Amino acid sequence: MENDLELEGLADGDWDDAAGGVAGGVAGGADGADDGDDDADANGGADADDGGDDATTLPGIATLPGLAEGQGYIVLAATPIGNAGDASARLVAWLGSADIVAAEDTRRLHRLTTSLGVQVSGRVISYHEHNEAAKTPELLAQVQAGKVLLMVSDAGMPTVSDPGFRLVEAAVAAGVRVTMAPGPSAVLTALALSGLPTDRFCFEGFLPRKSGERASRLHELAVEPRTMVFFEAPHRLEPMLRALHTAFGPSRPAAVCRELTKTYEEVIRKPLSGLLEWAEAADIRGEIAVVVAGAPAADHGTPEDHVAAVNELIGQGMRLKEAVAVIAHDVHVSKRELYSAVLASRK
């Protein structure tokens, strides 16, 4: 999910003057990759620390258990979803030490590393949905040759509605080690702020754009009992909410989460009818996550309510235990309780 870092007050030409942040002692002002190049070497590679630390001893990076000397591996690292201050120490350390950094957008990577004061020493490669199929074998071969590859998306977790899945899939198939530097996630942030149940949830990403396909998907999800998290573009939010209103009903609780972790962060919590009214009147901008409550549990009644259905099957020649099993399965009640209810009705 694309998102811009919250770095108010810096004009486009001022990024090279930004420094500090999480990097601490890491050298600032990285030149980074060229904006338009798919493959670019970061200028001015970082020198090793005086103590000779390598990638496994930098702050925030633990030695990977079971890793042979010289063996390459892949690191998936979460990046801030809106506020550069949310970058982890492990992300910063790997940005400054990985042999290769695969980035969804090299310009956004340059913006991030400059704001954090990180000097990227490795090769920076553009890796996105339009070239990942072609570039995955090349990157995998580099890792198999002993390189450490850092994979970052524009914002949040790689592979979650972002590039990276093809790389992980290929790495797993090839027996290549993959680890993670966890961190910000728009999905989990929206879920936590929604005020809706978090014990069970599912992520549905972006709904289909075509109305027929979207209606079909929502028809399937109408009975989904778990809390659902969606992404949506601001200009498509109103038709999306209208489709949710139609498929799930006007009273289903939901929340629209906008510009998470940024200055103008906003969470609107209303039934779908209220959210639709808000969207019709609002000038909606920014990155959007929509969280919707799962379908309420169906009321299947008491075992006594289904005794007649059991007797009807018995009247058709079915044995008592078989009839109880069929009805209990269909109406989701306890077989033992339904069996007892049938016997009690005969007294």
pLDDT tens readout for residues 265-286 = 999 999 999 999 999 999 999 9
Whether residue 272 contacts residue 292, with contact meaning beta carbons closer than 8 Å, is answered with yes
Is 61 a residue whose pLDDT tops 70?
no
Strand partners, 271: 253
Q: Identify the residue whose tokens are 């909606």.
A: 284
- Token pair listed for 100: 């290769």
Mean pLDDT computed over every residue of the chain: 83
More confident call, 135 vs 162: 135
Residue 211 has pLDDT above 50, yes or no: yes
Query: 83: closest CA among 212, 189, 193?
Result: 189
Side-chain-facing half-sphere of 13: CA atoms under 13 Å = 0
Residue 165 Ramachandran class (φ > 0 left, ψ -120 to 50 alpha, else beta): alpha
208 Cβ contact list (under 8 Å, min separation 6):
214, 216, 217
Phi, psi of 141 (to 5 degrees): -65, -40
